[in-house]
Chain A
Amino acid sequence: MTEAPSPARQALEAALREEGDRLYGLALRVTRNPDMAADAVHDGFAAAIEKIDDFRGDSALSTWLYRIVFRKAIDLLRKRSREEPLSDEDAEAGRPDEAPGRGSAWSRPPDEILFDRESTEALEQALSTPPAVQRAAFELREVEQRPTDEVAEILNLPPATVRVYLHRARLKLRAALGPHFREAASS
C-alpha cells in the first residue's frame, strides 16, 4: 500500500501549485535570468524541505517560501557576478530624490501604450535598472500587491525602508520610461 504524503509535503506541493509562478516572477525580477530564476525556486524548495520542521507558522508558509527564494536568488546573483553589490542602496542613501517636475508627464494614455510591443520592451528594460532589492520590493508590492509589512518580512527590512526603496524604484522607472513615452507621443 502506498504511504500517504506527509502534511509537510502536501503543504509544499500546494505552495508550488499556488505560488510557483509568483515565486518564479520574484526570482526572475531579482536575477533577470530565466535559468537562474528557475534554479532559485528549485533551491528554495530544496532548502524549505530541509527546514520545514523548523517552520513554526509565525508567518504564512508562502511568506516563508518567498523569503527563502529571494535569498536563493540573491545568492545566485552574487555567485554569478560581483558586479551588482547588494549594498547599492546604501550608496544612494545621501542622494536627493528626483525632483517631481523633472520631465513632463507621459503624453499618451496608458491604455494606448500598454500593449504596444515596443513599450512592453521598454518597460521590461526599465524594470531591470533599479538595484536587486529595489526590484524585489517593486515586484512584491507594486506588481503582486502584497502588503508592505509582508514585503518587509520577505526582504528582511523595516517597512519604512521598503517604502523608500519602492519610491526610488518608482522614480527610476519613471525617469527611464519618460523619454520613451514622450518620444513615442511626439512621433
Chain B
Amino acid sequence: MKCNELLQRFAEYADGALPDDLCTEIARHLERCPPCADLERDLKDLQRMCREQPRPCLPDEARRRIEQLLKDRCR
C-alpha cells in the first residue's frame, strides 16, 4: 500500500469501517512509514485533546427561556 492509498482509506480506517485484511495492510504500512505513523498519532492526539477540553454549558437564561416555552406551549 502507498501513502496516497492509505490517505484515501484513512477516514474509513479511523472509523473502524474497513474489513480486517485492509486494516492489516494499513497497520503494516504504518509500521514502516514514519510520516503516515506521525499522521495517525497526531490525529489520535488531536481527538484526545478535543475530548478532554471543557464542554460548553447552555446558559441559565437560555435554559429558563426554553423551560418557559415548554410550559406555555406544550401542555
Contacts and interface: CB of A to CB of B under 8 A. Distances in A.
B15 interface: yes
Nearest to B3: A100
Interface string B31-55: 0010110110111011111111101
Contact of B42 (A105, A120, A164): A105
B11 to A, nearest CB: 4
Contacts of B62: 24, 38, 41-42
Contact of B48 (A9, A16, A110): A110
A28 B8 CA distance: 30
Interface string A71-94: 000000000000000000000000
B39 A120 contact: no
Contacts of A178: 42
Contact of B70 (A13, A101, A166, A177): A13
A100 B69 contact: no
For chain A, what secondary structure do more than half of its interface residues adopt (helix, strand, loop), or is it mixed? helix
A51 to B, nearest CB: 11
B74 A100 contact: no
A8 B66 contact: no
B47 to A, nearest CB: 6
Nearest to A23: B58
Interface of A: 3, 5-6, 8-9, 12-13, 16, 20-25, 28, 34, 38, 41-42, 45-46, 49, 52, 97-101, 104-106, 110, 113-114, 120, 123, 127, 138, 142-143, 145, 148, 159, 163-164, 166-167, 170, 173-174, 177-178
What 7 A-B pairs have minimum CB-CB distances, sorted nearest first? Answer: A101-B35, A167-B11, A105-B38, A38-B62, A24-B58, A163-B11, A100-B39
27 contacts: A3-B75, A12-B74, A13-B70, A16-B63, A16-B67, A21-B57, A22-B55, A24-B62, A28-B56, A38-B61, A41-B58, A42-B69, A49-B73, A98-B7, A99-B4, A101-B39, A105-B38, A105-B42, A110-B49, A114-B52, A142-B50, A145-B51, A148-B15, A148-B17, A163-B12, A164-B11, A167-B10
